[in-house]
Amino acid sequence: MPTQLLAKIDDLKNEALELHAKLVSIPAIGPDNNGSGEKDKADFLTAYLKDKGFGEVKSFNAPDERVKCGYRPNLVTVIPGQDTSRTLWIISHMDVVPVGDRSLWDSDPFTMVQDGDTIIGRGVEDNHQGLVSSVIAGRALLDSGLTPGINFGLIFVSDEETGSKFGLEYMLKEHEDLFKKKDLFLVPDFGDADSSLVEVAEKSTIWYKVTVMGKQCHASDPDLGANSLIAAAAMIMEVPELHYQFDEENILFSPPYSTFVPTKKEANVENVNTLPGKDVFYIDCRVLPNYDLREVTDQVKGMALYVAEEYGVKIDVEIVNESQAAPATPADSEIVEKILFAIKEVYNIDARPGGIGGGTVAKHLRERGYQTVVWGTQMHQAHQPNEKGSISNTLNDAKVMMLLPF
């Protein structure tokens, strides 16, 4: 592709900044996080895209009575290619997470602040960067007058931050006729700061809530009770044993092994001189895809039975989140080869396909056999106070996107 065509994206820097600022100013928080949904942002984007020459913008509305308008919007627009039977889809999400502790922010979370290349505000990286990059890539294509080899399709979904039931999952269940198996998919919602990681696989995820029931009593006479905290501590100390039960490694991932980590601990008694009778903690497990999560659950429940008998308590193990990994996108697939080439052209680095422990909406696509990669140039600022993004990353990622449909 001619250098001058990619240079068109640099010419759109001010437009990219203005779009970033407008998106930040429209909070799009889902009802699960006590927000009013994504409608205002979707309405703005629809008008914006039409004004910039994108043509038809369709809204696929997932019914949700919890928001005032009664639905969660999902937007689709397509720039036709020479081969209209295939589409490169770039899927970003409109929703953001709440600001969290407002006192940790140095500025208004919903007013973008620019400091040189750095932009600050809720959503500037997660996921406005990917969204703006895809729009700017489309703008440059339209301005160039060139027709891409295949369709260039943009999708802006709702509900990514709280499960995707009203977002991409809804689109795939109710409107899968939009997609073809030979289509290519990019989800610009994860990546490394050096642009080098092209995510093609994810670990399985399972979270356990472990409830230890003992017997509360006065701490001065502990023999009258059964200390749930001691039993919970013993159960926590059993968790590392899972690494020995599920010890295979896969160099596609970093770390290359399954992880099993005790995390959240709920409060028990309020005063020091009471022996606790109930303790609750959680275990976060990220498991290599070759393992069946039912085997992990069997091991955890077996450990619970052992500890319960040893300490004279009752232990309940509840699954609060479970996601068996989808098959990986093959490292030699067309979308992987295209994006590795494009990253080399723009960033002059040799990127690599790899796997992550976290989960993305790519799972829903891979489950259905679509060639999908997750990639972006990101500083891992998602969900943080004073969330930061980069305008140069936004523009350079747009250049990578622009190369993909050719």
**Does 277 lie in the same domain as 334?**
no
**Does 319 lie in the same domain as 333?**
no
Q: Do residues 204 and 342 touch, judged by C-beta distance below 8 A?
A: no
Q: Binning pLDDT at 50, 70 and 90, where does residue 397 land?
A: very high
Nearest to 182 by CA among 85, 90, 92: 85
Q: pLDDT by residue (tens digit) across 113-152?
A: 999 999 999 999 999 999 999 999 999 999 999 999 999 9
The CATH number linked to 159 is 3.40.630.10
- Could you tell me the residue range of the domain that residue 265 belongs to? 204-323
Q: pLDDT by residue (tens digit) across 47-99?
A: 999 999 998 999 999 999 999 999 999 999 999 999 999 999 999 999 999 99
Helix (H) or strand (E) holding 376: none
Helix (H) or strand (E) holding 335: helix 334-347
Residue 318 among the catalytic residues: no
* Residue at a domain's end among 295, 323, 351: 323
Q: Do residues 281 and 264 touch, judged by C-beta distance below 8 A?
A: yes
Q: Express the helix, strand and coil content of the chain in percent, nearest 5 each.
A: 35, 25, 40
Nearest to 84 by CA among 177, 131, 153, 165: 153
* Residue at a domain's end among 279, 301, 323: 323
* Residue at a domain's end among 265, 294, 323: 323
**Does 144 lie in the same domain as 12?**
yes
**Does 175 lie in the same domain as 36?**
yes
Considering the candidates 95, 159, 161, 202, report the single residue annotated as catalytic: 95
- The reported pTM is 0.88
Is the previous residue joined to 271 through a cis bond, with omega within 30 degrees of 0? no
Considering the candidates 125, 126, 160, 387, report the single residue annotated as catalytic: 160
Number of domains in the chain: 2
Residue 163's pLDDT is: 87
Cα(368)–Cα(355) distance, rounded to whole angstroms?
Answer: 18
Residue 160 among the catalytic residues: yes
Distances (CA, A) of 125 to 76, 94, 160, 191: 21, 12, 14, 11
Q: Do residues 321 and 206 touch, judged by C-beta distance below 8 A?
A: yes
**Does 68 lie in the same domain as 184?**
yes
| Percent over 90 (pLDDT), the chain | 96
